[in-house]
């Protein structure tokens, strides 16, 4: 499943960061999931519950923040309102996706002795 590999990658990232800083445990993770990333928050949460056992994240909460899709003009950068035609109202250039397809590890709270 897609979410399993994403959680595994997130845990790898967190462990690497925690090791670099000499942390003994992780308290909280913040993850952003784009509307168009194809990731389901509920599936991600259950994959996380399964995978964190035995890792530094065993007792860590995972906050998931949903990020809406954002479009902008590829020529002049003007934002395209949600639900509008995907074309710039100012110059007519087709829009490009500016955000909302990402899965991002935003922050990690950890315990450093
Ligand atoms: Zn434009």
pLDDT tens string 15-29: 999 999 999 999 999
- Tell me: the pLDDT tens digits for 49-84? 999 999 999 999 999 999 999 999 999 999 999 899
Residues 62 and 104 sit within 8 Å (Cβ to Cβ): no
Taking the CA of residue 80 as centre, how many other CA atoms within 13 Å lie in the half-sphere pointing to its CB?
24
Q: How far is the CA of 38 from the centre of ligand 1 (A)?
A: 28
What would the two tokens of residue 98 be? 């500016």
What is the pTM (predicted TM-score) of this model?
A: 0.83
Q: Give me ligand 1 centre to Cα 79, in Å.
A: 9
Q: List the beta strands (DSSP E) in 1-113.
A: 25-34, 61-67, 70-73, 79-80, 95-99, 103-111
How confident is residue 99, by pLDDT bands cut at 50, 70 and 90? very high
Ligand 1 center–CA 78 separation, angstroms = 6
Residue 68 Cα to ligand 1 midpoint, Å, equals: 21
58: left (phi over 0), alpha (psi -120 to 50) or beta: alpha
Burial of 101 (0-12, 13-18, 19+ CB in 10 A): middle
d(CA 42, CA 47): 9
Give the Cα separation of 39 and 18 in Å (integer): 25
Distance 75 CA to ligand 1 centre (A): 5
CB atoms near residue 11 (< 10 Å): 21
Residue 1 pLDDT > 80: no
What is the whole-number distance in angstroms between the Cα of residue 95 and the centre of ligand 1?
8
């Amino acid at each position: 499943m897609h979410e399993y590999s994403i959680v595994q990658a997130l845990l790898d990232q967190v462990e690497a960061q925690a090791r670099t800083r000499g942390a003994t445990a992780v308290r909280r993770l913040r993850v952003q999931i784009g509307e168009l990333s194809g990731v389901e928050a509920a599936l991600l949460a259950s994959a996380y519950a399964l995978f964190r056992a035995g890792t530094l994240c065993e007792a860590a909460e995972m906050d998931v923040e949903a990020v809406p899709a954002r479009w902008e003009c590829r020529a002049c950068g003007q934002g395209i309102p949600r639900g509008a035609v995907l074309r710039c109202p100012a110059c007519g250039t087709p829009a490009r996706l500016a955000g909302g397809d990402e899965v991002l590890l935003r922050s990690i709270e950890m315990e450093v002795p």
